[in-house]
Structure 1
């Protein structure tokens, strides 16, 4: 079984079973110095992602003391270029959706950080746009509706939506997209169910609402990424998450940060619009496909 498949099996188990014993050997690293890790500001400002990075670092004390600090406010495209550069200290860690291209030029820590929920998306809309969504039952209906979706120009979701025949309007800055929605440049800002409640809390705009009936779903694992040569950080994050899965703290992390969204968005009752994602590596495609196949079971567990 490929190692990512093993990790995925552990991820599924961590939602359902009691903690199991795990090795906590600290051999191999001695006299490790303290280090600051620069986390992309969008992830730092997300309580869940920052908590996961801090959890992984906490589980690996043999690597030395650590501190997570906020990066400059860089676009996603700039962050990926800085990571790939290998010499930049503007950012050390970023959590973004994966793609085969990203896995080629960066180092991925191959765990879906939110249990695979990023590929499950709901529409943030203006109230007057809600009637456009009322009669949509399937992908053909969505295409026929001529609903335009807003997305980041560097996000891998954009080509996925376009490959499925859905028109997209893009901008390089996440913050600008909310203004474009308010100005009716598009009909739906598709946001991951693991991030949309936090987004709206930050926006504090009663004229932005979540469409109540549809769930757009496609294989889109979201990983932590580091630079191509930063193997020590990659090993530390991977080992820390593995230990958290084994001792049950990863399960608690998922429930703490994501069960609210599953309940409040009423995900188990929504109509699923399933899309294909042709841009994943073989192993990430396996993870994404398994996530979709287990969608209902995951939602049931997280809503308990």
Structure 2
């Protein structure tokens, strides 16, 4: 029996035999060396609620080291960690088992920009996509967003997530596109280290995308629990209540001011056919 199969079989047994009130430890991919990465709060709260709807109490344990997306995919596939969340896309869905229920209702594909404060006037002159194409975006290593932006004719360089903030501060990239649910919290979390960075106030680069949960391909037990729990939350209204009440989501939405932005639409050629069939009720 392969190592990953042995791990997922043992994990499936642990799930199946967990008693009421007994916690199961789930290990997840850690994407930043920052002690309190604001991006983890809503996905973990949502997954906790979904699994609790399935009668399963969980404890979440981050990976010991921060890892880039490519390394995280391998860690999940090899059973070193139990799950991750990442953007929809054919490539990752061929390597892992996707649970195709968007975590943020599409906010990940509503991209606003982190920029250097000294560049605000320059971005204020952008009116259409070719204007933006003259500048260079930064994206994380292995992110599917890199291919989406490049397919739209935009220039992109890749670096580690934490290094991209340093690149912005130094001026080696011009902007860092982030999900509307991410940018305000990320800038706030780094205000002391990078006071020169800000959220650009008027542009929105939009495409169909969102984060989903992914587990190892053999980890059927966990995938089924997550999917059933998320569907139950949506059916009961629990998901919408959590989305509407969660302080992280509501704070960043209030700060992002999406309705007031100039919207630049681009396609997402990286979606699988299954991604394109995700029901509209799961999107904003």
**CA distance in structure 2 between the partners assigned to 1:125 and 1:235 by the alignment:** 40
Aligned pair 1:52/2:38, yes or no?
no
Q: CA deviation at 1:136?
A: 1.8
Tell me the TM-score normalized by structure 1: 0.79
**CA distance in structure 2 between the partners assigned to 1:245 and 1:251 by the alignment:** 7
Report if the CA contact (8 A) 1:123-1:210 is conserved.
yes
1:248 to 194, 219, 237: 237
CA RMSD of aligned residues (A): 2.1
Aligned partner of 1:25 in structure 2 is none
Runs of 4+ in 1 over 3 A off after TM superposition: 42-45
Structure 1 regions of 5+ residues with no counterpart?
1-28, 299-304
What is the SS of the residue equivalent to 1:263?
helix
Q: CA deviation at 1:221?
A: 2.4
**CA distance in structure 2 between the partners assigned to 1:66 and 1:206 by the alignment:** 37
Aligned partner of 1:84 in structure 2 is 77
**CA distance in structure 2 between the partners assigned to 1:268 and 1:260 by the alignment:** 15
Report if the CA contact (8 A) 2:31-2:161 is conserved.
no
Report if the CA contact (8 A) 1:124-1:189 is conserved.
yes
What is the SS of the residue equivalent to 2:185?
helix
Aligned partner of 1:71 in structure 2 is 63
Q: CA deviation at 1:125?
A: 0.5
Aligned partner of 2:91 in structure 1 is 101
**CA distance in structure 1 between the partners assigned to 2:110 and 2:199 by the alignment:** 14
Tell me the TM-score normalized by structure 2: 0.84
Q: CA deviation at 1:30?
A: 6.1
Structure 2 regions of 5+ residues with no counterpart?
1-14
**CA distance in structure 1 between the partners assigned to 2:254 and 2:17 by the alignment:** 46
Q: Deviations over 1:109-130 (max 9, x none)?
A: 1111011100111110011111
Aligned partner of 1:32 in structure 2 is 18
Pairs aligned (count) = 256
